[in-house]
Amino acid sequence: MPVVVDLRSDTVTRPTPAMRAAIAEAEVGDDAYGEDPTVKALEAEVAELLGHEAALFTPTGSMANQIAIQLLVDPGEELLVDSEAHVVTHEVGAAAVIGGISTRTWPSQGGQLDADLVAAQLRPDGYHAVATRAVGVEQTHNRSGGVVLPLDELRRLRDITSQAGVALHCDGARIWHAHIADGVPLIEYGRLFDTVSVCLSKGLGAPAGSLVIASADRIARARTLRKRMGGTMRQAGILAAAGQHALRHHLAGLADDHARARRLAEALSGFGVVDPARVRTNIVPLDLTKSAADAATLAAGAAEHWLLVSVLGPRFARLVTHHDVDDAGVEHAITVLAGVLGR
């Protein structure tokens, strides 16, 4: 049977033999009692990486985001985010349903951040106004194709929000990719935000697990919020060990994923579906508005040749490189996609 090249997402990776060995050897305990040494070690390690006092391990990135948002915004108050942000497009209304939080969006600028545009939308607390309590940004920006938000603009946004007394959250599911692409130390990003969420199961290749990072006080409250959402696990060191292994052994390799995404983008740019200059990390968005094939046709044509791609809209498809795709897989993808796009 031919090998499937799965470019749908960087979540499809399987644990490597070395990661499985780390999982097998993990020291564990009941984390609900605070007795899992591997979870505690991972939390301390990630908090330090991002320059914060504490961190909390969660089953998913969505839960990490929702905990962070609830830490910053009370029911009936407002979170302001980009209109294409994961928290408003892919978390099935959790902020409203679980947190009682009102969300408002600024029109997405292709994932680019314009601090002045955000500043103009902040709504002060006042009579009959929903108070903006937090702003959320996404690093890297998923639906815009792994766009990296520049450190300078993030600093400007931090100044603006601090002056307004508004908190700042970073959905850092792929903050690792930004760190590798721009060479910005994780701590430089981390210290700009009141809360950060990170995923270990995206590019880093762990089977599951995310963290919320914040001050010690906030993480103490986060523990209760996690419990309320049913996210407290027991011998979760099994998963934390995979995360520790991923951080040690898979972080630097993200540079290879970025190079492969760039290769895909360059090879497909002749079909007018992607601008390679915009592909800086591991996501290649395909804009099929001017192509003969729509997204479903492209995906079906690819699948005939054991290549899987994501359909995100009628004329919007996406390729994502990751740990389980090598150079040969990328060359196969180029051949197959060129065949379908060139029809």
Ligand X SMILES: *Cc1c(COP(=O)(O)O)cnc(C)c1O
Query: 125 by DSSP, 3-state: which?
Result: coil
Contact region with ligand X (CB under 6 A), list: 54-62, 188-196, 263-271, 287-295: 54-62
Contact region with ligand X (CB under 6 A), list: 26-34, 36-44, 56-64, 285-293: 56-64
Q: How far apart, in whole angstroms, are the C-alpha atoms of residue 302 and residue 51?
A: 43
Name which position in 52, 86, 169, 263 contacts ligand X (CB under 6 A): 86
Residues contacting 321, CB < 8 A, separation 6+: 7, 10, 257, 258, 260, 261, 264, 282, 284, 330
Q: How far apart, in whole angstroms, are the C-alpha atoms of residue 122 and residue 246?
A: 38
Minimum Å gap between C-beta 102 and ligand X is: 20
- 60 touches ligand X (CB under 6 A): yes
* Residue type, position 115, single letter: A
Count of CB atoms within 10 A of residue 60's CB?
Answer: 18
Q: Of 58, 103, 64, 98, give the one whose Cα is nearest residue 80.
A: 103
* Residue type, position 202, single letter: K
Paired residues of 103 in beta bridges: 79
- 138 touches ligand X (CB under 6 A): yes
Minimum Å gap between C-beta 340 and ligand X is: 26
φ and ψ of 133, to 5 deg: -105, -25
Name which position in 149, 199, 240, 241 contacts ligand X (CB under 6 A): 199
Q: How far apart, in whole angstroms, are the C-alpha atoms of residue 113 and residue 155?
A: 11
Residue number with the shortest CB distance to ligand X? Answer: 61
- 173 touches ligand X (CB under 6 A): yes
Minimum Å gap between C-beta 88 and ligand X is: 11
- 78 touches ligand X (CB under 6 A): no
Name which position in 38, 66, 102, 142 contacts ligand X (CB under 6 A): 142
- 281 touches ligand X (CB under 6 A): no
Minimum Å gap between C-beta 25 and ligand X is: 25
Nearer to ligand X, 86 or 260 (CB): 86
Name which position in 38, 62, 70, 161 contacts ligand X (CB under 6 A): 62
Minimum Å gap between C-beta 83 and ligand X is: 14
The DSSP line for 206-253 is -SS-EEEEE-HHHHHHHHHHHHHTT---SSTHHHHHHHHHHHHHTSTT
Minimum Å gap between C-beta 125 and ligand X is: 28
Minimum Å gap between C-beta 173 and ligand X is: 3
Minimum Å gap between C-beta 325 and ligand X is: 17
Q: Of 198, 321, 246, 176, give the one whose Cα is nearest residue 15.
A: 246
φ and ψ of 198, to 5 deg: -135, 155
Contact region with ligand X (CB under 6 A), list: 55-63, 98-106, 178-186, 260-268: 55-63
Binding track, positions 88-107, relative to ligand X; x by CB under 6 A: --------------------
| Sites of contact with ligand X (CB under 6 A) | 60-62, 65, 86, 138, 142, 171, 173, 199, 202, 210
